[in-house]
Amino acid sequence: MNLKGKHLIDPNDLTLEELDSVFTLAQDMEKEPAKYENLCSGKILATLFYEPSTRTRLSFESAMLRMGGNILGFADANTSSVRKGESISDTIRVLDGYSDIAVIRHPREGAPKLASNFSAVPVINGGDGGHQHPTQTLTDLLTIKNLKGEIKNLRVALCGDLKYGRTVHSLIKTLSRYEGMSFCLISPPQLKMPSYIKEYVANEYNVEIVETENLEDVINEVDILYMTRIQKERFFNEEDYLKLKNSYILTRDKIKDSRSDMLIMHPLPRVNEIDYSVDDDQRAVYFKQAKYGVYVRMSLMAHLLGVI
Protein backbone atom coordinates (compact mmCIF):
# COMPACT_ATOMS: atom_id res chain seq x y z
CA MET A 1 0.00 0.00 0.00
CA ASN A 2 1.73 3.17 -1.07
CA LEU A 3 0.00 6.36 -0.03
CA LYS A 4 3.20 8.36 0.29
CA GLY A 5 2.76 11.98 -0.76
CA LYS A 6 -1.01 11.75 -1.31
CA HIS A 7 -3.43 14.41 -0.08
CA LEU A 8 -6.67 13.57 1.73
CA ILE A 9 -9.26 16.14 0.70
CA ASP A 10 -12.33 14.01 0.07
CA PRO A 11 -13.03 10.58 1.62
CA ASN A 12 -13.17 9.14 -1.91
CA ASP A 13 -9.45 9.91 -2.26
CA LEU A 14 -8.89 6.55 -0.54
CA THR A 15 -9.99 3.21 -2.01
CA LEU A 16 -11.70 0.65 0.22
CA GLU A 17 -8.45 -1.31 0.29
CA GLU A 18 -6.51 1.77 1.38
CA LEU A 19 -9.11 2.52 4.05
CA ASP A 20 -8.72 -0.99 5.32
CA SER A 21 -4.96 -0.61 5.53
CA VAL A 22 -5.40 2.62 7.54
CA PHE A 23 -7.77 0.85 9.97
CA THR A 24 -5.57 -2.23 10.39
CA LEU A 25 -2.53 -0.15 11.28
CA ALA A 26 -4.64 2.07 13.59
CA GLN A 27 -5.80 -1.05 15.46
CA ASP A 28 -2.21 -2.19 15.92
CA MET A 29 -1.17 1.30 17.05
CA GLU A 30 -3.78 1.13 19.78
CA LYS A 31 -2.69 -2.37 20.83
CA GLU A 32 1.05 -1.80 20.78
CA PRO A 33 1.78 1.94 20.90
CA ALA A 34 5.41 1.43 21.95
CA LYS A 35 6.21 -0.08 18.55
CA TYR A 36 5.42 3.24 16.89
CA GLU A 37 6.77 5.82 19.31
CA ASN A 38 9.66 6.85 17.06
CA LEU A 39 8.00 6.26 13.72
CA CYS A 40 7.84 9.97 12.87
CA SER A 41 10.92 11.25 14.62
CA GLY A 42 12.23 14.22 12.68
CA LYS A 43 8.86 14.81 11.01
CA ILE A 44 6.83 17.99 11.51
CA LEU A 45 3.07 18.37 11.27
CA ALA A 46 1.67 21.85 10.51
CA THR A 47 -1.86 22.50 11.81
CA LEU A 48 -3.52 25.44 10.07
CA PHE A 49 -6.84 26.05 11.76
CA TYR A 50 -8.85 28.95 10.37
CA GLU A 51 -11.91 27.78 12.33
CA PRO A 52 -12.38 26.62 15.94
CA SER A 53 -11.57 23.04 16.83
CA THR A 54 -10.78 20.97 19.89
CA ARG A 55 -10.75 17.33 18.86
CA THR A 56 -9.51 17.51 15.32
CA ARG A 57 -6.51 19.73 16.00
CA LEU A 58 -5.57 18.19 19.32
CA SER A 59 -6.01 14.62 18.09
CA PHE A 60 -3.75 15.36 15.11
CA GLU A 61 -1.19 16.93 17.43
CA SER A 62 -1.42 14.07 19.92
CA ALA A 63 -1.10 11.59 17.04
CA MET A 64 2.10 13.19 15.76
CA LEU A 65 3.60 13.55 19.25
CA ARG A 66 2.82 9.88 20.01
CA MET A 67 4.87 8.89 16.96
CA GLY A 68 7.84 10.99 18.10
CA GLY A 69 7.28 13.84 15.64
CA ASN A 70 6.84 17.57 16.20
CA ILE A 71 4.06 20.06 15.59
CA LEU A 72 3.67 23.70 14.68
CA GLY A 73 0.85 25.89 13.47
CA PHE A 74 -1.96 28.14 14.58
CA ALA A 75 -5.32 27.51 16.20
CA ASP A 76 -6.66 30.95 15.46
CA ALA A 77 -6.20 32.62 12.11
CA ASN A 78 -6.36 36.03 13.81
CA THR A 79 -2.94 35.49 15.30
CA SER A 80 -1.37 34.60 11.94
CA SER A 81 -0.62 36.63 8.82
CA VAL A 82 -4.08 35.81 7.50
CA ARG A 83 -5.05 38.87 9.53
CA LYS A 84 -2.77 40.91 7.26
CA GLY A 85 -4.52 39.56 4.20
CA GLU A 86 -2.27 36.66 3.25
CA SER A 87 -3.89 34.14 0.89
CA ILE A 88 -4.10 30.45 1.72
CA SER A 89 -1.96 29.59 -1.30
CA ASP A 90 0.89 31.82 -0.07
CA THR A 91 0.58 30.48 3.47
CA ILE A 92 0.82 26.87 2.28
CA ARG A 93 3.74 27.58 -0.05
CA VAL A 94 5.71 28.90 2.88
CA LEU A 95 4.50 26.30 5.34
CA ASP A 96 5.58 23.38 3.25
CA GLY A 97 9.16 24.53 3.70
CA TYR A 98 8.60 24.32 7.47
CA SER A 99 6.79 20.99 7.70
CA ASP A 100 6.39 17.49 6.22
CA ILE A 101 2.59 17.25 6.32
CA ALA A 102 -0.23 19.74 6.94
CA VAL A 103 -3.81 19.65 8.16
CA ILE A 104 -6.09 22.54 7.26
CA ARG A 105 -9.49 23.50 8.62
CA HIS A 106 -11.20 26.36 6.89
CA PRO A 107 -14.69 27.93 6.86
CA ARG A 108 -14.65 28.08 3.05
CA GLU A 109 -15.61 24.97 1.12
CA GLY A 110 -12.79 23.84 -1.11
CA ALA A 111 -10.02 25.78 0.69
CA PRO A 112 -7.97 22.65 1.61
CA LYS A 113 -8.31 21.47 -1.99
CA LEU A 114 -6.97 24.79 -3.22
CA ALA A 115 -4.11 24.62 -0.72
CA SER A 116 -3.22 21.10 -1.91
CA ASN A 117 -2.68 22.46 -5.43
CA PHE A 118 0.13 24.63 -4.09
CA SER A 119 1.61 22.23 -1.58
CA ALA A 120 4.63 20.01 -1.95
CA VAL A 121 3.72 18.09 1.22
CA PRO A 122 0.56 16.04 1.88
CA VAL A 123 -2.45 18.19 2.80
CA ILE A 124 -5.25 16.76 4.93
CA ASN A 125 -8.67 18.37 4.98
CA GLY A 126 -9.55 18.94 8.65
CA GLY A 127 -13.04 20.17 7.72
CA ASP A 128 -14.03 22.72 5.05
CA GLY A 129 -17.13 24.76 5.78
CA GLY A 130 -20.31 22.74 5.50
CA HIS A 131 -18.72 20.45 2.92
CA GLN A 132 -16.54 17.49 3.97
CA HIS A 133 -14.66 16.15 6.99
CA PRO A 134 -12.81 13.05 5.83
CA THR A 135 -10.76 12.35 8.97
CA GLN A 136 -13.89 12.40 11.11
CA THR A 137 -15.22 9.75 8.76
CA LEU A 138 -12.08 7.66 9.24
CA THR A 139 -12.66 7.97 12.98
CA ASP A 140 -16.31 6.96 12.60
CA LEU A 141 -15.49 3.98 10.42
CA LEU A 142 -12.77 2.73 12.76
CA THR A 143 -15.28 3.02 15.62
CA ILE A 144 -17.80 0.92 13.72
CA LYS A 145 -15.16 -1.64 12.74
CA ASN A 146 -13.84 -1.93 16.28
CA LEU A 147 -17.23 -2.19 17.94
CA LYS A 148 -19.25 -4.07 15.30
CA GLY A 149 -16.45 -6.22 13.90
CA GLU A 150 -17.06 -5.21 10.31
CA ILE A 151 -18.66 -2.49 8.23
CA LYS A 152 -21.40 -4.42 6.48
CA ASN A 153 -25.19 -4.80 6.44
CA LEU A 154 -25.93 -1.97 8.83
CA ARG A 155 -28.91 0.32 9.08
CA VAL A 156 -27.59 3.76 9.97
CA ALA A 157 -29.60 6.75 11.18
CA LEU A 158 -28.07 10.19 10.72
CA CYS A 159 -29.87 12.75 12.86
CA GLY A 160 -29.77 16.53 13.28
CA ASP A 161 -28.26 19.12 10.99
CA LEU A 162 -27.78 17.15 7.79
CA LYS A 163 -27.64 20.29 5.68
CA TYR A 164 -24.62 22.05 7.17
CA GLY A 165 -23.06 19.08 8.98
CA ARG A 166 -19.90 18.16 7.08
CA THR A 167 -19.34 15.01 9.17
CA VAL A 168 -22.52 13.38 7.88
CA HIS A 169 -21.79 14.40 4.27
CA SER A 170 -18.50 12.55 4.35
CA LEU A 171 -19.90 9.67 6.37
CA ILE A 172 -22.83 8.77 4.09
CA LYS A 173 -20.61 9.04 1.03
CA THR A 174 -18.10 6.62 2.49
CA LEU A 175 -20.43 4.15 4.25
CA SER A 176 -22.39 3.79 1.00
CA ARG A 177 -19.35 2.15 -0.57
CA TYR A 178 -19.64 -0.81 1.82
CA GLU A 179 -21.94 -3.79 1.31
CA GLY A 180 -25.54 -3.82 2.48
CA MET A 181 -25.76 -0.38 4.06
CA SER A 182 -29.03 1.55 4.36
CA PHE A 183 -29.78 4.97 5.81
CA CYS A 184 -32.48 6.84 7.70
CA LEU A 185 -32.03 10.59 7.45
CA ILE A 186 -33.67 12.42 10.33
CA SER A 187 -33.81 16.20 10.22
CA PRO A 188 -36.18 19.16 10.23
CA PRO A 189 -37.27 20.06 6.66
CA GLN A 190 -34.98 23.13 6.73
CA LEU A 191 -31.90 21.02 7.49
CA LYS A 192 -32.23 18.09 5.10
CA MET A 193 -29.23 16.39 3.52
CA PRO A 194 -28.39 18.24 0.26
CA SER A 195 -29.90 16.56 -2.81
CA TYR A 196 -26.57 16.39 -4.60
CA ILE A 197 -25.27 14.02 -1.92
CA LYS A 198 -28.44 11.90 -1.73
CA GLU A 199 -28.55 11.57 -5.51
CA TYR A 200 -24.86 10.73 -5.68
CA VAL A 201 -25.04 7.86 -3.19
CA ALA A 202 -28.36 6.56 -4.52
CA ASN A 203 -27.17 6.52 -8.14
CA GLU A 204 -23.61 5.42 -7.51
CA TYR A 205 -24.18 2.74 -4.88
CA ASN A 206 -27.90 2.03 -5.06
CA VAL A 207 -28.36 2.41 -1.31
CA GLU A 208 -31.77 2.65 0.32
CA ILE A 209 -32.49 6.00 1.95
CA VAL A 210 -35.56 7.00 3.93
CA GLU A 211 -36.13 10.51 5.23
CA THR A 212 -38.18 11.52 8.21
CA GLU A 213 -38.56 14.34 10.68
CA ASN A 214 -39.21 12.03 13.60
CA LEU A 215 -36.46 10.25 15.42
CA GLU A 216 -39.08 8.04 17.08
CA ASP A 217 -40.03 6.56 13.67
CA VAL A 218 -36.74 4.71 13.32
CA ILE A 219 -34.99 4.69 16.69
CA ASN A 220 -35.95 1.09 17.49
CA GLU A 221 -34.79 -0.41 14.22
CA VAL A 222 -31.31 0.98 13.56
CA ASP A 223 -27.85 -0.45 14.26
CA ILE A 224 -26.23 2.96 14.51
CA LEU A 225 -27.66 6.27 15.62
CA TYR A 226 -25.34 9.13 14.61
CA MET A 227 -26.37 12.35 16.33
CA THR A 228 -25.13 15.77 15.22
CA ARG A 229 -25.17 19.31 16.54
CA ILE A 230 -27.22 22.02 14.82
CA GLN A 231 -24.39 24.00 13.17
CA LYS A 232 -25.08 27.43 14.64
CA GLU A 233 -22.14 29.13 12.91
CA ARG A 234 -23.46 28.28 9.42
CA PHE A 235 -26.84 29.99 9.89
CA PHE A 236 -27.45 33.36 8.32
CA ASN A 237 -29.41 34.64 11.28
CA GLU A 238 -29.75 33.78 14.96
CA GLU A 239 -33.54 33.58 14.77
CA ASP A 240 -33.50 30.62 12.39
CA TYR A 241 -31.03 28.84 14.62
CA LEU A 242 -33.10 29.44 17.74
CA LYS A 243 -36.14 27.91 16.03
CA LEU A 244 -34.25 24.71 15.29
CA LYS A 245 -31.77 24.31 18.10
CA ASN A 246 -33.96 21.99 20.17
CA SER A 247 -35.13 19.85 17.24
CA TYR A 248 -33.75 16.61 18.69
CA ILE A 249 -32.81 15.81 22.24
CA LEU A 250 -31.92 12.20 22.89
CA THR A 251 -32.85 10.98 26.36
CA ARG A 252 -32.65 7.62 28.16
CA ASP A 253 -36.37 7.25 27.79
CA LYS A 254 -36.24 7.57 24.00
CA ILE A 255 -33.77 4.68 23.66
CA LYS A 256 -35.43 2.30 26.10
CA ASP A 257 -36.77 0.06 23.30
CA SER A 258 -33.87 0.53 20.89
CA ARG A 259 -31.63 -2.40 19.95
CA SER A 260 -29.36 -3.53 22.76
CA ASP A 261 -26.39 -3.52 20.38
CA MET A 262 -27.12 -0.14 18.81
CA LEU A 263 -24.18 2.28 18.75
CA ILE A 264 -24.94 5.89 19.65
CA MET A 265 -22.29 8.00 17.97
CA HIS A 266 -21.57 11.73 17.82
CA PRO A 267 -18.58 13.57 16.33
CA LEU A 268 -18.67 16.03 19.28
CA PRO A 269 -18.88 18.77 20.43
CA ARG A 270 -22.34 18.09 21.84
CA VAL A 271 -24.57 21.00 22.71
CA ASN A 272 -27.95 19.71 23.90
CA GLU A 273 -28.81 16.97 21.39
CA ILE A 274 -27.80 14.13 23.73
CA ASP A 275 -28.84 14.40 27.35
CA TYR A 276 -25.98 13.75 29.80
CA SER A 277 -27.95 10.88 31.31
CA VAL A 278 -27.41 8.89 28.09
CA ASP A 279 -23.62 8.87 28.65
CA ASP A 280 -23.83 5.95 31.12
CA ASP A 281 -25.72 3.75 28.67
CA GLN A 282 -23.40 1.08 27.26
CA ARG A 283 -24.61 1.95 23.75
CA ALA A 284 -23.22 5.51 24.01
CA VAL A 285 -19.78 5.31 22.38
CA TYR A 286 -18.97 8.93 21.50
CA PHE A 287 -16.09 9.30 23.93
CA LYS A 288 -14.55 6.04 22.70
CA GLN A 289 -15.06 7.35 19.18
CA ALA A 290 -13.05 10.51 20.02
CA LYS A 291 -10.22 8.32 21.34
CA TYR A 292 -10.12 6.20 18.18
CA GLY A 293 -9.63 9.50 16.32
CA VAL A 294 -6.05 9.66 17.57
CA TYR A 295 -5.09 6.17 16.35
CA VAL A 296 -6.69 6.63 12.98
CA ARG A 297 -4.88 9.95 12.49
CA MET A 298 -1.59 8.36 13.54
CA SER A 299 -2.11 5.67 10.96
CA LEU A 300 -3.22 8.11 8.27
CA MET A 301 -0.17 10.33 8.73
CA ALA A 302 2.19 7.34 8.79
CA HIS A 303 0.69 6.24 5.46
CA LEU A 304 0.85 9.69 3.82
CA LEU A 305 4.39 10.28 5.05
CA GLY A 306 5.39 6.86 3.72
CA VAL A 307 7.09 5.83 6.97
CA ILE A 308 5.48 2.39 7.25
Contact 240, 267 (CB under 8 A): no
Site for ligand NCD in 129-148 (CB under 6 A): 133, 136
* Residue 55 appears among annotated catalytic residues: yes
Cβ nearer to ligand NCD, comparing 167 with 299: 167
- The residue from 55, 93, 148, 177 that contacts ligand NCD (CB under 6 A) is 55
Cα gap 142→133, rounded to integer Å: 15
Q: In the sheet where 263-265 sits, what is the strand order?
A: 208-212, 182-186, 155-159, 224-227, 263-265
Q: Least distance from C-beta 292 to ligand NCD, angstroms? A: 12
Contact 83, 109 (CB under 8 A): no
Contact 77, 49 (CB under 8 A): yes
Site for ligand NCD in 154-173 (CB under 6 A): 166-167
When asked if residue 47 is in the footprint of ligand NCD (CB under 6 A), the reply is no
Cα gap 228→268, rounded to integer Å: 8
* Residue 166 appears among annotated catalytic residues: no
* Residue 174 appears among annotated catalytic residues: no
Cα gap 183→155, rounded to integer Å: 6
Catalytic residue among 7, 43, 56, 174: 56
Q: Least distance from C-beta 242 to ligand NCD, angstroms? A: 17
* Residue 56 appears among annotated catalytic residues: yes
* Residue 243 appears among annotated catalytic residues: no
When asked if residue 229 is in the footprint of ligand NCD (CB under 6 A), the reply is yes
In the shown chain, the binding pattern of residues 268 to 307 toward ligand NCD, with x for contact by CB under 6 A and - for none, equals xx--------------------------------------
Contact 244, 174 (CB under 8 A): no
- Torsion sign, CA atoms 237, 171, 89, 60: positive
Q: Least distance from C-beta 115 to ligand NCD, angstroms? A: 18
Cα gap 140→143, rounded to integer Å: 5
When asked if residue 56 is in the footprint of ligand NCD (CB under 6 A), the reply is yes
Binding positions for ligand NCD, rule: CB under 6 A: 55-56, 127, 133, 136, 166-167, 228-229, 267-269
Residues annotated as catalytic are 55-56, 84, 105, 133
